[in-house]
Structure 1
Amino acid sequence: MWKQGPSTTLQWVLEDLNQKHLSPRVSTIHETLKRAGLRSGSINLLVHRGFVTHRAPLLERTLKGPDLLALGPILSEPGVGTFFSANAFRDPDTWQIARRWLHRNPPPDFLIAYLSDLDKKVHKEGPGHRRHLLEIDRRLSDLLSSFGCWERALDRYIFILMGDSGHVPVKEDEGHQIRLEEILEGFRLLPPGSRLQPDEYDFVVAPNEQLAILYPIRSSVRIRPVIRRLLSHPGVDLVVHRDGEMITVRSRKGILRFRKGGPWTDPYGTSWTFSGNPGVLDLQVDPAKKRVGFRAYPDAFRQLLGAAGAQRSPCLLVTARTGYEFRYGTSPGHPGGGSHGSLKRREMLVPLIAGGTAVRPAHRRIVDLKAWILTLLEEKKKPGKRPGPGAKN
């Protein structure tokens, strides 16, 4: 943040992320609910695109979001005084705002809040950290009790508590930090915080824990030697790039290419075409039924299509094996702690607990939760009918 500049970083994160990079071809849950005449709120989530204009005095600009929007000291309710609070963007502030908004009149029809402290603690101490879960449990108990009793809370709202990503442990020794400067030695790399001059550099390097993205700047840069270098490192798991409609995935096991549409069907009803070695993504293949399943990398085809397809220019997406993580320049590392960002099961599978409904999502994927939540809201609107109070999934 300091290398890019705080003002530039805030511009990217608060405005560009929501208004430019988030596809206009999709509707966020806040936009969908607003069109249906329902009110929604968001607390401390960076992705919050909506139709309502909010003034952020600290930044002297406005932001588009849901009816209710809180972003730590950047944006909060008038008169509440959370500016420059020690708890800004931290769990205590999030719980307090959630409690106020759930008891307000009129209340939001949907509220999403981000509890970030557990992630920080697991990054530092590793996946074995448990203490902060007790704090979350206590805070949730207090919130439910604020309605008089838990039954009354579950009769008024459906509560959903879930993780957004799992962690894998990172080895403590320096050998498990994948230094991208060393792998790309001989290439001209854009230093962190510098402005891009296309004729001066070969690659822009974007490390993010268990994932790194390499953007070639000049068309003359040869990619194959870079892929060979990457796969020669013991910590690199997969190297992925897009070639037209095809996504190519390489590992030490070989090459696998795939695209959306075709004769093969996955467990979620999506059809695919693929060729090469299924072992690259540990696919479970049934040639007789033309079925393809996922084991070590859950929902890998959709995940990789989304990641590679979101890139506006050619690039290499590189994932790390368990115990390793990527580093570049002064990017943060977590030796002896926890990390995430790849496609492995321990990172992809997260817990979800729902109280106040017995209706389940169509599939156990985060991408299916929006449709599930919209279904729950439709059920609650029906006179004399609501999804099974008190049931838990």
Structure 2
Amino acid sequence: MRKKEIWIGLSIFIMIMLIGCQHSKPKEQDLLRIHSANGEHTKKVIFLMADSLMVQAIDQGISQQELPAFKFLTEHGQYYKNLVSSFPTMSVTIDSSLMTGAYSDVHRVPGLTWYSADNKKVINYGTGPLEIIKQGVNPVLTDSLMDLNGSHLSKDVPTIYEDLARQGLKSGSINGLIYRGASNHKLVIPEWIQIPASLPKEIDVKGPDLLSLGSLSNPFQGIKDLPDGLLNRMGVQNDFAVEAVKYLVQSNKLPDFLFVYLPDLDRELHKKGPAGLAKVKELDQQLLSLLQTFGSPEKAVQEAVFIIAGDSGMTRILPNEQNPVIDLPALLGDTNILRPGEAVSEETEIVLAVNETMAYVYSLKADRSLRELANILKNDQRIDFISWREKEWNYALQGSTAKLIKFKAGGGLTDSYNQAWTVEQDEEVLDLSVDRAKHFLKYDLYPDVLKRLSSALRSHRGEFLVVTAKPGYELTGGNSPTHKGGGGHGSIRKMESLVPLIICGTDQKPDYLRMVDLKAYLLKLLAKETQRKQ
């Protein structure tokens, strides 16, 4: 491979590794139009999403007196240790659920990578440099910068930014992956990306009143000097985001609702695994600096509501010598599998879309059933379960044991989220505790698994399996990034699904502890502040 191609791939990876992620003209009008409709004396809501923040790290750091900001926030607010994320546990799908209040069967963003039967192409928002190079720079950037918010995220469900605009409230996003709103913005594409990627110089997008997306859309340029150069990951990093929020606080420009994405922790944990506090301590110092911008932490929570959440947990991937990577093409034998960068043809039998510890496996041939493929994959002891749908029924086949469960929405069993289900056969496959006398079921190893799995199976068109790996293992399609000896997520087990939620500055509580329910909570919280002002 030529050096130029490698440099292009690595450069693009720096930009989109957060969606991965991302020189623009000053957008001062953004700062002029975000002035809160409720005035300066109402509480604003600041939501900080810390990618891969985990409860274990917070608790350990607080017990060792090393996290003063987290200690203050948890002691002066609500601290929940079991917020249920979306599935797959990948940032684009999670943020889509947060911003729309719906799972993927409604918002239609199935994962970091997936196959579009309508367009006969693999959608990839930026999984890793090798896969990006193989897939093609232009398609990946088109998917992530133009289509994710422009067409893939369903227009049938409003985002929180669109809802707030209809209510006359102001909102902002700093480095958020999902930002569709009611205001017009332009993403300005640097020349070093335009030319190899065949992208236009400017891309028109719709976003909240304030849209800051690294250096592609930097409303602070020319006003506040923030770290947004190439060596600073083009502004898609914690320092840029926190300094941007501090500027809004100092200049009295906070919108009614501000979403802030903090990605740095995720990269570290992928490399070194979920243990360790170094990056969490850095995050804590950034949070403390933000709180002190108000004058003191005590004054900060008097003037604003702070919500800090992780988006997914992470599982330690075993080291190389313990064979942690499940090679799906090898398991499927001599099947004609679509390779990255190739076009789908009549000969294509299988398409793979790997999201670290989960994967979509698509069958393009009617003569090869999903059950047949599931029976092949189940023989690998490292696979947790394989799932598929047949009309209204959902099936899950346990790896190695071949035990089967089937379930569908509606019926006589109700879970803790007031969702009704019919469940048949081996309940232990999904670790369900079912009390048929009381018509109730509980989840343990797989939180909210019936709804989350069912939603993934209905998130997009096609005949496909959902495959998940056991703890310690991850999947590959051949060019997928792997994390041997590090950390991975994507799966539905609670280690990757349960995340911390800290709410400080209000006594109002969420009805349910699920990511998908936080939009309703935020809208209610903001409505309360509006009523209080009136």
Q: TM-score range by the shorter chain?
A: over 0.9
Q: Distance in 1 between matches of 2:253 and 2:270?
A: 38
Give the 3-state SS of the residue equivalent to 2:499 in structure 1: coil
2-side partners of 1:239 and 1:374: how far apart? 37
Q: CA deviation at 1:83?
A: 5.5
Give 2:218's match in structure 1, choosing from 48, 51, 76.
76
Number of the residue aligned with 1:122: 269
5 Å matches for 1:244-263?
244-251=391-398, 252=401, 254-263=403-412
CA shift at 1:313, angstroms?
A: 1.0
Aligned to 1:376: 525
SS at match of 2:286: helix
Deviation at 1:84, TM superposition (A): 3.5
**Aligned residue type for 1:73:** S
Aligned position for 1:301: 450
Partners of 1:9 and 1:63 in 2: CA distance = 17
Partner residue in 1 for 2:339:
191
The reply to whether residue 49 of structure 1 matches residue 191 of structure 2 is no
In the alignment, structure 1 residue 327 sits paired with structure 2 residue 472: no
Specify the code of the residue in structure 2 equivalent to 1:65: G
Q: Equivalent residue for 1:18?
A: 149
2:388 alignment partner, one of 230, 237, 241: 241
Contact 2:161 2:171 in 1 (8 A): yes
Q: How far has the Cα of 1:103 moved from its partner?
A: 3.9
Q: Distance in 2 between matches of 1:62 and 1:134?
A: 38
1:159 aligns to 2:301 (yes or no):
no
CA positional deviation for 1:40: 0.9
Contact 1:14 1:63 in 2 (8 A): no
* 3-state DSSP of counterpart to 2:422: strand
Q: Percent identity?
A: 38
Is 1:286–1:292's contact at 8 Å kept on the other side of the alignment?
yes
CA distance, structure 2, for counterparts of residue 85 and residue 69 of structure 1: 19
The CA RMSD measured in Å over matched residues stands at 1.7
Query: What is the TM-score of this pair, normalised by structure 1?
Result: 0.93
Number of matched pairs: 384
Displacement of 1:178 after TM fit?
Answer: 0.2
Q: State the 1:67 CA deviation.
A: 0.9
1:301 deviates by 0.7
CA deviations on 1:326-364 (whole Å, 9 max, x unpaired) are 012221111111111111111111111121012211111
Work out whether 1:100 is the aligned partner of 2:247.
yes
The answer to whether the 8 Å contact 2:313/2:499 transfers is yes
User: In 2, Cα distance between the equivalents of 1:124 and 1:106?
Assistant: 37
1:272-323 deviation per Cα after TM superposition (whole angstroms, max 9, x unaligned): 1221211111101011111011111000011101111102111111000001
Corresponding residue to 1:358 among 498, 507, 520: 507
Deviation at 1:269, TM superposition (A): 0.6
Could you say if the C-alpha distance between residues 140 and 162 of structure 1 is closer, same or farther in structure 2, counting changes exceeding 3 Å?
A: same
Q: Give the TM-score taking structure 2 as reference length.
A: 0.69
Q: Is residue 167 of structure 2 the alignment partner of residue 36 of structure 1?
A: yes
Give the Å deviation of 1:231. 0.6
TM-superposed deviation, 1:266: 0.5
The correspondence for 1:61, drawn from 203, 208, 226, is 203
Note the C-alpha offset of 1:246.
Answer: 1.5
**Rounded Cα–Cα distance in structure 2 between residues aligned with 1:313 and 1:5:** 23
Q: CA deviation at 1:253?
A: 5.2
After TM superposition, the runs of 4+ consecutive aligned structure 1 residues lying more than 6 A away are: none
Q: Is the Cα contact below 8 Å between 1:74 and 1:83 reproduced in 2?
A: no
Once structures 1 and 2 are overlaid, which stretch shifts more, 86-95 or 72-81? 72-81
**Counterpart residue number, 1:229:** 376
SS at match of 2:298: helix
Query: Which residue among 123, 134, 140 is the counterpart of 1:9?
Result: 140
- The match for 2:86 is none
Alignment partner, residue 86 of structure 1: 231
Number of the residue aligned with 2:192 = none
Instruction: Give the 3 Å change call, closer, same or farther, for CA 266–291 of structure 1 in structure 2.
Output: same
| Equivalent residue, structure 2, for 1:219 | 366
Q: Equivalents in 1 of 2:134, 2:330: separation in Å?
A: 21
Residue in 2 that maps onto 1:388: none
Tell me, yes or no, if the aligned pair for 2:370 and 2:463 is still in contact at 8 Å.
no
Partner of 2:258: 111
- 1:349-391, CA deviations, whole angstroms, 9 ceiling, x for partnerless residues? 1111121012211111111111111121122223369xxxxxx
Write the distance in 2 (CA, Å) between the matches of 1:244 and 1:18.
Answer: 29
More deviation, 168-177/178-187: 168-177
SS of 1:383's equivalent?
A: helix
- What do the CA deviations read for 1:66-91 (whole angstroms, capped 9, x no partner)? 11111112211143576544222111
**Contact 1:253–1:277 (Cα < 8 Å) also in 2:** no
Matched residues in 2 for 1:110 and 1:119: separation? Answer: 24
Which is bigger in relative contact order (C-alpha 8 A, separation at least 6)? 2
Aligned to 1:391: none
Letter matched to residue 14 of structure 1: L
**CA apart distance, 1:106:** 4.1
Distance 2:391 2:369 in 1: 18
Higher helix share: 2
Change (3 A) 1:130 1:242: same
- Matches of 2:386 and 2:524 in 1, distance apart? 38
* Unpaired runs of at least 5, structure 2: 1-131, 190-200
Distance 1:17 1:100, change over 3 A: same
1:179 aligns with 2:321: no
Query: Residue type of the partner of 1:323?
Result: G
Distance 1:234 1:343 in 2: 18
Work out the CA distance in 1 between the residues paired with 2:423 and 2:357: 25
Could you give the per-residue CA deviations for residues 222-269 of structure 1, whole angstroms, max 9, x where no partner exists?
Answer: 433321121100111111112112211111351111121111110011
Q: Hey, what does 2:96 align to over in structure 1?
A: none
